[in-house]
């Protein structure tokens, strides 16, 4: 993947301190339908992605058409509970504004100008639209920052590929760097722990709480092919549990949003909710791989899993909010941007070099 991006060249316009004068930060996110009539084309774009349906065309096109047609009605009913559209864009816009403000207030970037853009993968504004806006901004450096803390070939890699194609199409030639992952970045971890603590204390009135760190699942075969997503999710869960500092904390990481007949990684969140009911313990569901509220948090967790918990006999259910614009999270993102700008690598992790074990071939960084 690093071959898709170029390192900062000697011709880059810089401040007296050596930093680029004009930086474009592009936030990657999934996207979501902005109206009821957008549900089906949004689903088609999702399932037509070769990173999601790993078949050649015309088979992928046919399957995407079939699935989007079948899922349009139930998906539309989900978005109807959210006012007929996904709130993801509005939430991402708020994060972009907060990040731009944090970067602009940093005295270390004096003399430099930073603007934050949004590129959604499956609905507007998509990479083609955003790449044109970034080109008009005429940056000296582009930093690609996914709002997926854990790297996956199905999310960050897919978005990076779409961006590279869009940038090439519009003639955006500015040096570009990708921040590939930040599963244990301190700002992200501490912000999540900060949101959990008061809710955990409230849940203690109903027994000893169990914390379910829930992430979007993946088919097992994707992970078996070398995708590091599950490994990174496990590191996220461990880090948040440690940051909470609660003695003898009862916690587990699990996975939600399974679709289709394939076997997915586990344990599943719904199975863990049923187990909590059998054990008679209150639960907190923490969306550890989602940083913005959308259908998977506001409907799947808040509505569907809450209902399941009631049926399963769970004495108390709490959905922990996503980090959103929590100051700690935004400051963490700003630190990642500054680190990426200052670094020399075209693809970097939260600590610069590779964090994944060498057996994960899907990691975008070279093996040690």
Structure tokens that stand for 206 in this block: 């109903």
CA 364 and chain centroid, separation:
16
> What dotted CATH number matches 189-319?
3.40.50.1400
- Looking at every residue in the chain, the average pLDDT score rounds to 94
Condensed to tens digits (0 to 9), the pLDDT of residues 263-291 reads: 999 999 999 999 999 999 999 999 999 99
In 3D space, the residue among 34, 63, 28 whose CA is nearest the CA of residue 48 turns out to be 63
Condensed to tens digits (0 to 9), the pLDDT of residues 228-270 reads: 999 999 999 999 999 999 999 999 999 999 988 889 999 999 9
Bridge partners (DSSP) of residue 126 are 120
Model confidence at 292: pLDDT above 60: yes
Condensed to tens digits (0 to 9), the pLDDT of residues 144-180 reads: 999 999 999 999 999 999 999 999 999 999 999 999 9
Structure tokens that stand for 32 in this block: 């979501």
Report angle CA 235, 54, 78 to the nearest 5 degrees.
70
Q: Which alpha helices (H) appear in the chain, and where do they start and end?
A: 39-47, 59-80, 88-104, 127-137, 156-170, 186-203, 220-224, 229-244, 269-279, 295, 306-312, 327-342
Q: Where do the structural domains in the chain lie, given as residue ranges?
A: 15-31+87-181+327-349, 36-80, 189-319
Model pTM? 0.94
CATH match of 15-31+87-181+327-349 with 3.40.50.1400: yes
Condensed to tens digits (0 to 9), the pLDDT of residues 56-100 reads: 999 999 999 999 999 999 999 999 999 999 999 999 999 999 999
Kindly state the percentage of the chain with pLDDT values over 90.
Answer: 90
Q: Are 343 and 352 in contact (CB under 8 A)?
A: yes
By three-state DSSP, how is residue 168 classified? Answer: helix
Beta carbons within 10 angstroms of residue 343's beta carbon: 16
189-319 matches 15-31+87-181+327-349 in CATH topology? yes
């Amino acid at each position: 993947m690093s071959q898709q991006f170029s390192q900062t060249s000697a011709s880059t316009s810089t401040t007296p301190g050596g930093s680029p004068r004009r930086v474009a930060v592009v936030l990657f996110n999934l996207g979501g339908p902005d109206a009821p009539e957008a549900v089906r084309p949004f689903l088609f774009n999702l399932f037509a992605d070769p990173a999601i349906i790993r078949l050649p065309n015309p088979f992928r096109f046919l399957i995407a058409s079939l699935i989007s047609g079948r899922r349009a009605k139930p998906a539309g009913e989900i978005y109807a509970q959210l006012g007929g559209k996904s709130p993801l864009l509005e939430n991402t816009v708020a994060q972009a504004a907060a990040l731009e403000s944090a970067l602009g207030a940093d005295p270390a970037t004096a003399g430099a100008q930073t603007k934050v853009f949004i590129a959604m993968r499956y609905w507007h504004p998509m990479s083609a639209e955003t790449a044109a806006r970034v080109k008009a901004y005429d940056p000296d450096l582009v930093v690609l920052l996914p709002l997926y803390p854990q790297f996956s070939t199905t999310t960050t890699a897919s978005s990076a590929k779409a961006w590279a194609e869009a940038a090439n199409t519009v003639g955006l030639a500015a040096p570009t760097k990708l921040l590939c992952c930040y599963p244990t970045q301190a700002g992200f971890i501490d912000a999540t722990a900060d949101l959990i603590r008061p809710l955990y204390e409230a849940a203690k009135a109903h027994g000893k709480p169990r914390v379910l760190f829930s992430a979007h699942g993946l088919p097992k075969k994707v992970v078996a092919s070398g995708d590091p997503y599950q490994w990174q999710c496990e590191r996220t869960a461990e880090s948040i549990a440690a940051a909470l500092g609660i003695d003898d904390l009862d916690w587990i990481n699990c996975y939600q949003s399974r679709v289709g007949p394939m076997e997915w990684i586990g344990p599943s969140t719904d199975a863990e909710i049923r187990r909590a009911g059998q054990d008679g313990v209150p639960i907190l569901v923490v969306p550890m791989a989602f940083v913005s509220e959308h259908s998977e948090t506001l409907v799947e967790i808040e509505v569907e899993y809450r209902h399941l918990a009631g049926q399963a006999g769970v004495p108390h259910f709490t959905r922990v909010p996503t980090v959103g614009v929590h100051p700690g999270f935004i400051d963490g993102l700003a630190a990642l941007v500054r680190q990426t700008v200052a670094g020399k690598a075209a693809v970097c992790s939260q600590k610069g070099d590779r964090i994944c074990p060498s057996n994960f071939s899907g990691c975008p960084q070279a093996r040690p």
